[in-house]
A = this chain, B = another copy of it.
Amino acid sequence: MKPQKIGSKLWVIPGGHIPFGTNGKEPEFTSHDRLSILNTSGKEADIELTIYYQDRPPHGPYPICVEAQRMKEVRFNDLIDPLAIPLDTPYSCVLQSNVPVVVQFSRQDTRQTANAVTTMMAWPVA
């Protein structure tokens, strides 16, 4: 498939919440929240995340780069600059891109033995 612009430049995930505690070998069984971002365009995607909290001002931007015709998987646990996202804390994420992308959100929860997983499409604005 030739490069083409598919998706939206603005996506929202309201329900972030990295589970605290892990059963199983790391990193594959580490409890985490993650993004999967697809850039089908012919141009590199320069992306900025803003993180919202319950009781403090939003933080950001967290920069992410996705090459043309590539996807990227990013764990929220690994976002540490400008501020590590705290574990066991509710947050929301707004993702802004210079080119259209498509975004999915997933969680792995291994706080108890036997992992639990869930996934959903992020919410595209307009």
Give A residues with C-beta under 8 Å from B. Answer: 1, 6-7, 10, 12-17, 20, 23-24, 28-29, 36-38, 40, 50, 52-55, 57-58, 60-61, 69-73, 88, 90-92, 94, 96, 102-107, 109-125
- Give chain B residues whose Cβ lies under 8 Å from the Cβ of A121: 14, 120-123
- Give chain B residues whose Cβ lies under 8 Å from the Cβ of A13: 104
Q: Is the interface of A mostly helix, strand, loop or mixed?
A: strand
B40 touches A52 (CB 8 A): yes
Residue of B nearest to A10 (CB): B6
- Give chain B residues whose Cβ lies under 8 Å from the Cβ of A114: 112-114, 116
How many copies altogether?
4
Q: Please, how many angstroms separate the alpha-carbon atoms of A123 and B6 in the complex? A: 10
A12 touches B38 (CB 8 A): yes
Residue of B nearest to A73 (CB): B90
Q: Please, how many angstroms separate the alpha-carbon atoms of A34 and B55 in the complex? A: 18
> Which residue from B54, B71, B104 sits with its C-beta under 8 Å from A53?
B71
Say how far A116's CB is from chain B's closest CB, in angstroms.
Answer: 5
Q: Please, how many angstroms separate the alpha-carbon atoms of A1 and B10 in the complex? A: 12
Q: Please, how many angstroms separate the alpha-carbon atoms of A71 and B56 in the complex? A: 10
